[in-house]
Chain A
């Protein structure tokens, strides 16, 4: 089994409920480096730039279009 399949299998096991992280165990998940919601608005402008300069889009909430900068 290749490494990508192993990672995929591990993720599926997690989805099956093998991992439960209690709320009191989540201190590390509140650190600045793990709080991805903090970057939402920063990402909004960067996505706008990438959408207007790249053929691909998506993955950050945008659908393409939305302004005349295409």
Chain B
């Protein structure tokens, strides 16, 4: 009988095209989770083949299966403990010998294998012909040649998986003869078999190999499951020491050596080099791409292009997508109960707030789509490791890593990024310490959502020096990020695990459109699924915090009286006109809604034919109201003026109520409660409220300020309103506020990303607290210090810039690792 469900693993080295294989097999069924206890992504998907549902787990790409890196540990544990029915081992056909190094280790773990000889096209182009049949014979494992990038060989692979999983053909996988190490293996195996029950769950030969390698995890396993581990472990150490003295080499060296020898021998026997075997192109390309002067130039150009296409052009695209979102909003508006003169139904204001919050996020989708597509191109082309290669020296000075470049570019190294994809892309950094440092500093970079507040403040308070102020704010974040990263790695992250830098420089490939688009869509989707729900939840919370407890009965009564006065005054004014009976106390709200709807529609329609069509519609709706808004008939002008006055009075009342409500709200109280501290940074409670609301999403800060400074005169910009509302606000205030915004704690979506990437609530909380403390300190320093010294905003700006620059240079001067102090003495003329 055939099993209806099956679990298989996908294993392979980095750059073997494993993720392409995974995407081709599982398509849109993928989801991401974490392996328990570590922050390694666990990608899972499934497909159906001949009625069987096959669950595929994409193991992290690793070169080997030791216990030194979390990725390798996770892969091993999965194979040993989740017992998949088989593993598909993806090999880079153009680099067979290296790929087989891992294959032998998989075979030793006793798992059934199917080899996927991927990237056959690359091998062919390089003039290599592989005899898959012979390979499969020599290894005793089925081998399927594929070019998954183009979908070639998929069917054959699926069939091979089914055949092996059903156990139709008995397999006899090849095993490496470790020659002089076989006797110690035999001794260990015999002892394990007689003294423990480990044989039930683990291949004893694998345990023996790992013990001779000195594998820490396997040693721990033995200590846990051996009834009397000490004499046994002593024996193992003795065997290792004996081997080393007798053969003059470390046991692990011998093991690696034998694996390479076997891999080399098998790959030679299966490869027919055709005439004109080509030297890999990548070295010739690297001569330019990694050149001393040309390399950095290309790097800057690539980063600039990444910005330009995703941020600048992406924004242009949002001009086309925004109307769609705006339509959703107006549709929601039309579905909600109509507003009363003073009482806006709660469901109405809530729905609009909710749609606005989600729209603010969805608006970024085109930018993310372009960004993710471009990153996929960078990844697939092989440029990414070159990027790390070029900047590693610089970043490692600050405790970061060459591979911190991409996350930082995404986070907004200059201006305009997004911390969420930035934090998410940190998972590739192999060094735990640098990875955490990168994750913690990314929120300090200038994300897109911080920019509106900068622009707002610069336009008001630094209008004469716009370009300088913009340059300041764009670069200051990097000057704060670097010293902070260094400080973190010297203090809280000091004890974190580090990893060797050693990195493969894979050959260059032309990325396929299919793979790039597929990845972009998939990542946008994963991002939306994860983030939207969170933003939605927070929007609800902030709404509640801003709305409740609401106005007291007395205040409501006060506003009601004001309303009554305004309405009766209006009715009195139109009493003696031709429209006296047209608008009454009963239908006055209908009229006001009609008025507002017409004005809005008119503003959007512009002039010409559209306006005429609009007039026609509104005339049909209500000819009498229409003649008022068009100032027609006898006393038309008088009535129009009276109506305009009424509408404005209502708006003013609504706004007063809103201000009072926020003032009384939980959020307002928090803002006020913080004033004693924040006054030293120059923030009053209104600014505090705006900053608090920015936690949900930073763009809310401008929206909240907009609400707080709402104006009765429509058409007045927020700049004008804010300048009017905060007459005693100086450029120094603005500078402190901008710097606080730079250091502002990550928004909620980022916080969740940090939680996912660090796998710990502790680090998540830390990522919120450290920038907040830093932000308050910097803002107080700038504002109080600046005021004490009598500096102008511009002077304080220059002064702070100097300070940050000095801190960066100082921090860059000494290195993290004492061990490496004597390695920088090399002369600089050796470059070709």
A binds B: no
Q: What is B's interface to A at a CB cutoff of 8 Å?
A: none
Q: What is A's interface to B at a CB cutoff of 8 Å?
A: none
